[in-house]
Amino acid sequence: MCRTLFLRRGGLALALLVPSLCRASPAPTPQPPMTENPLLPESPLPYGMPPFDRIREADYVPAFEKAMADHLREVEAVASDPDKPTFDNTIVALERSGQELARVSAVFDNLNQADTTPGMQKIDSDMAPVRAAHADAIHMNPALFARIGALYDARSSLGLDAESLRLLERYHRDFVRAGARLSGPDKERLRALNRELASLESTFTQNVLNEVNASGVAAADAADLAGLPAAEIAADRKGGGYVIALDNTTGQPPLVYLENRPLRERIMEASLARGSRGGPYDNRAVVSRIARLRAEQAALLGYDTFAAFTVEDQTARTVGAVNGLLSRLAAPAIAKARREATDMQAIVDAQHGGFQIASWDWAYYAEKVRRARYSVDEAQLRPYFELNRVLEDGVFFAANRLYGLTFRERHDLPVYNPDVRVFEVFDAHAKPLGLLLEDFYARPSKQGGAWMNEYVTQSSLLGRRPVVGNHHNIPKPGPGEPTLLTFDEVVTLFHEFGHGLHGLFSNVRYPLFGGTAVPTDFVEYPSQVNEMWAEWPEVVRHYARHYQTGEPIPSALLDKMLATSKFNQGYETAEYLEATLIDQAWHELKPADIPVDVAAFEAATLHRCGVDFAPVPPRYRSTYFSHSFSGGYAANYYAYIWADVLVADTIEWFKAHGGLTRENGELFRSTVLSRGDSREAIGMFRSLTGGEPDVGALVRRRGLDQGGN
């Protein structure tokens, strides 16, 4: 499951396009004009938190236009400086440039995910090629690159400290990878490719979101919805009937509950067909065109494939390393999924169902197996997982034990939605650290899933402390009703807070390195490590209390819950790997080899990789695979499983060293959480664990080495 989206901040990276993944909502009520655009000046609020109460939709375009113009002037001043290039007058000057654009981009990109409008979506579409062209104007400035190149060539004699030397090397690498060394005609071709790609990726995003918002599967009456919780039946009521809305993943939450098999089948078929049914939201041609343009980009820049271009800048380094990991995991994942299907088929046969388990049956019968095997279901657990208690007595409690953090809720700061809560975070000895925004509830204006982003990224050069946001899509209960979570939602709360810690603990000099600005295949590492505390006995017993009586969760029920941790891991690993293999396959093609028939290409890929098991479809098909085709994870969706190898090793390290202790927390903070991208990512892992990643730890953690389910 994709649990996070993160926006890279700092220096020139601010100018790069970050496509939005958002849902439409009614346009805002017009407001009277303001004399000063609130997006441009530095916010006077604590920690530079954006003045959400003053920002209007009409502010964005003029703010972008002015901020980009000012940024170009700042960059041109560096490029045309008559003085000999130095680290300070070139690299540091570039790091200080574009601060207006940083503020505008942070607010727009983040709110376009969390609280969008049709107007913001149009701005996103209109500005996408403009923002791409802005980045190209900087990266392809020959005078600017000449100064960077001169410093890079002389780097060994400049006497730079380790972080400054890494920054210089990073600037040089980023400019080269953005086309700074290309000939004039090739630069023009790359500019054209970047503009078209920016527009196509925005189109892809809009098609996915518009179809999700417009789609749904009708049910005639409540009897068709037998098994679905009453609250969800009420939420699906539309006029005289019922419409089940779709999430963006292939699997749909109602499939766990619905007893009506034909309805389950219709839901799955509708989900799998998205983006490929003809009409205004069909993404098949868009997918093929994006893949072709990316392949052309890579070829222009001297790479065999777009995957090779992407992975070179990641922890994995090579396509062979990525494919080696995927190959090692695919066979045991599919084998375990087949064993899981056998267990479900036994229930179908015992009930004389007369059918073979299909993709629309999996979630429903997996839950039956789980209940039979462990005698536990979500209905028993949810009363013990009240949101505020999980947050304060679980997430914050673990952070206090590990890092000495304390939290104070602020009610005096403006928010973009009334449900958003703001916490000031204090380090040990009550030292102010930053702000944490928690946006828990689902709404039509918010993209699906859960993610973390940064409104202000830490940088000692700029004197900035962090403002981070965690976003969830928890169904909002009725007035006066408690918010009771599923255990998966509990784990997600810990996960996103792990990303939050990565931003809050950032302690770097340069903004380019701040917070979560690490390789994509490393960014999930800290967050997935933080998930372990959701199941840590001392932490669970502290937060898992009945919302009415305050009684702790019974030990027998807790033991049953924890015993299910490896349940259904064949399915979950296989559906993820299938999507990952599709992503890799698209981006390992030459331009002339890009197919037009998207469905046939997917089927051939899954068959070639030995993962074509019909009851387990890929988590995303290409036509609604936002991570790959508009969300910054192109040839990079493998990042979750790559990071999980590091996570499995790290969990074993924590357990071997005493678990939930300040000593362990401080070591993890000093070696990983505070370093941003100021050091090579894999070196941070080695500094903590003292060894190399071992995929065997992940295989054991997911139970892929075990027989049965």
User: Does the active-site annotation cover 392?
Assistant: no
DSSP letters along 32-93, please?
Answer: ---SS-TTSSPP-SGGG---GGG--GGGHHHHHHHHHHHHHHHHHHHHT-SSPP-IIIIIIH
| Interatomic CA distance for residues 549 and 93, integer angstroms | 59
Going by C-alpha positions, the residue among 214, 218, 202, 220 that lies closest to residue 277 is 214
Going by C-alpha positions, the residue among 615, 609, 570 that lies closest to residue 336 is 570
The answer to whether residues 394 and 496 touch, using CB atoms and an 8 Å cutoff, is no
Q: Provide CB contacts within 8 A for 603, sequence distance 6+.
A: 612
Amino acid letter, residue 343? D
The token pair at 528 is 């997935």
| Interatomic CA distance for residues 121 and 108, integer angstroms | 10
Chain position carrying tokens 């981009």: 105
Count CB neighbours of 568 within 10 A: 19
DSSP letters along 247-260, please?
Answer: -SSSS-GGGGT---
The token pair at 70 is 């000012």
SS3 per residue for 145-208: HHHHHHHHHCHHHCCCCHHHHHHHHHHHHHHHHCCCCCCHHHHHHHHHHHHHHHHHHHHHHHHH
CA R_g for the chain: 25
| Interatomic CA distance for residues 425 and 432, integer angstroms | 6
Strand partners, 434: 425
Longest dimension (CA), the chain: 85
Distance of CA 349 to the CA centre of its chain: 40
| Residue tagged active-site, from 378, 496, 524, 578 | 496
Q: Which residues are catalytic?
A: 496
